[in-house]
């Protein structure tokens, strides 16, 4: 399934066409009721990129760093790889509601767009491709509207169709995450909307990890709650075996947890609150990206044979500014989006997406 989706996305950016005018003409329309302190490792160099076949283009959005694969983005939300090497990315512009696919030097193409309320940390928060995207071209998105956070279905040339509405919205605490665990189950994590009590309230959809299995437009059954008690900027990072890790920010600490049958289990906490924004699992390590400290840190995944978790290692330190969401590829490459336009010191080519291959990853067991 994923291979097919990646092939379709890669094809979309494989040529040299200019999609600017086409994307400018595409309008999503309005919502309608029935609308469709740690040990620090030496920073490692980014993974090698293919040799350019022609001189690089000129212009204000050309970044000299070969690891940078997307530039001049509005403030970012979720992202995912667009090919199996991580040279193509698909990234959400949180403030514009656009889902963009691009690669180094372009072209850039808008795959979908939704009207959003981007106040605070809301907007286009995250997205997931339909398991049958190559046939139906559907994308599911977690977005903020003037009244709530919600999951919608996006189709070409159509307005967003509501799938799950009524997720609480706040001035902060709107950032969540989503992915298809199976073709019939969409896992969605929601922030606490600035109200920690709501995260512990079973009647509220805030601060939860939810399982959505109904995808029709309109009144859908309430989703199953898999876990609760989460804070703000909740990020999901499953491993290849189906284990789900969750990173979030609480009032007293940032943390990474693992979802178990008995509920979430804390693996590591950061009392200094580096503002964990994203997480990804690669080569047996759980990596997190941070906004305030501008780092990527990694811890080894616990196993049945060795369940001990020791202090994280810093594998990237203050090279790209404030870091947002992250995604990991099977080959170990991480794609990471910056959020300098929102909270950092933006450079001329911000916001960006870059590729990074950690060396060793997290702490070792020797």
Q: Where are the domains of the chain?
A: 2-6+72-356
Average pLDDT over residues 219-243: 95
For residues 181 and 244, what is the distance between their CA atoms, to the nearest angstrom?
10
For residues 105 and 102, what is the distance between their CA atoms, to the nearest angstrom?
8
- At 250-292, the pLDDT tens digits run 999 999 999 999 999 999 999 999 999 999 999 999 999 999 9
Judged against a pLDDT cut of 70, whether residue 20 lies above it is answered with no
- Give all strands of the β-sheet with 313-317 in edge-to-edge order: 39-40, 313-317, 295-300, 285-290, 276-282
Q: Angle at CA 126, nearest 5°, toward 124 and 127?
A: 105
Q: Compute the half-sphere exposure of residue 264: CA atoms within 13 Å on the CB side of its CA.
A: 24
Are the beta carbons of 103 and 12 closer than 8 angstroms? Answer: no
Banded pLDDT at 15 (limits 50, 70, 90): low
Average pLDDT over residues 45-61: 66
Q: Angle at CA 36, nearest 5°, toward 171 and 199?
A: 30
For residues 44 and 52, what is the distance between their CA atoms, to the nearest angstrom?
22
Judged against a pLDDT cut of 60, whether residue 43 lies above it is answered with no
For residues 122 and 92, what is the distance between their CA atoms, to the nearest angstrom?
12
How far is residue 300 CA from its own chain's centroid?
Answer: 21
Q: What is the pLDDT of residue 11?
A: 76
Judged against a pLDDT cut of 90, whether residue 101 lies above it is answered with yes
- At 180-209, the pLDDT tens digits run 999 999 999 999 999 999 999 999 999 999
What is the CATH superfamily name and number for domain 2-6+72-356? TolB, C-terminal domain (2.120.10.30)
How far is residue 358 CA from its own chain's centroid?
Answer: 19
């Amino acid at each position: 399934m994923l291979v097919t989706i990646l092939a379709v996305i890669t094809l979309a950016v494989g040529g040299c066409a200019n999609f600017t005018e086409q994307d400018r003409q595409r309008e999503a329309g309005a919502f309608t009721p029935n609308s469709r302190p740690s040990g620090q490792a030496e920073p490692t160099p980014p993974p090698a990129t293919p040799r350019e076949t022609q001189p690089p283009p000129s212009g204000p959005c050309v970044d000299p760093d070969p690891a940078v694969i997307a530039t001049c983005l509005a403030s970012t939300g979720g992202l995912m790889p667009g090919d199996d090497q991580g040279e193509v990315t698909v990234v959400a512009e949180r403030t514009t509601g656009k889902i963009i696919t691009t690669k180094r030097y372009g072209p850039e193409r808008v795959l979908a767009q939704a009207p959003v309320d981007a106040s605070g940390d809301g907007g286009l928060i995250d997205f997931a491709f339909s398991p049958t995207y190559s046939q139906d071209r559907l994308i599911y998105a977690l977005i903020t509207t003037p009244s709530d956070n919600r999951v919608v279905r996006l189709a070409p040339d159509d307005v967003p169709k509501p799938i799950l509405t009524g997720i609480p919205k706040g001035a902060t605490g709107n950032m969540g995450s989503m992915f298809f665990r199976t073709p019939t189950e969409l896992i969605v994590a929601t922030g606490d909307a600035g109200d920690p009590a709501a995260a512990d309230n079973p009647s509220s959809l805030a601060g939860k990890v939810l399982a959505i299995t109904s995808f029709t437009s309109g009144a859908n059954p309430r989703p199953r709650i898999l876990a609760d008690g989460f804070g703000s900027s909740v990020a999901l990072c499953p491993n290849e075996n189906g284990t789900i890790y969750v990173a979030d920010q609480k009032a007293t600490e940032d943390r990474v947890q693992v979802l178990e049958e008995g509920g979430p289990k804390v693996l590591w906490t950061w009392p200094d609150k580096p503002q964990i924004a994203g997480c990804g699992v690669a080569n047996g390590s759980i990596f997190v990206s941070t906004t305030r400290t501008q780092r990527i840190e990694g811890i080894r995944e616990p196993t049945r044979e060795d369940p001990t978790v020791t202090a994280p290692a810093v594998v990237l330190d203050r090279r790209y500014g404030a870091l947002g969401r992250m995604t990991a590829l099977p080959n170990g490459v991480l794609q990471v989006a910056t959020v300098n336009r929102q909270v950092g010191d933006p450079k001329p080519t911000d916001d960006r997406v870059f590729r990074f291959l950690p060396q060793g990853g997290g702490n070792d067991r020797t």
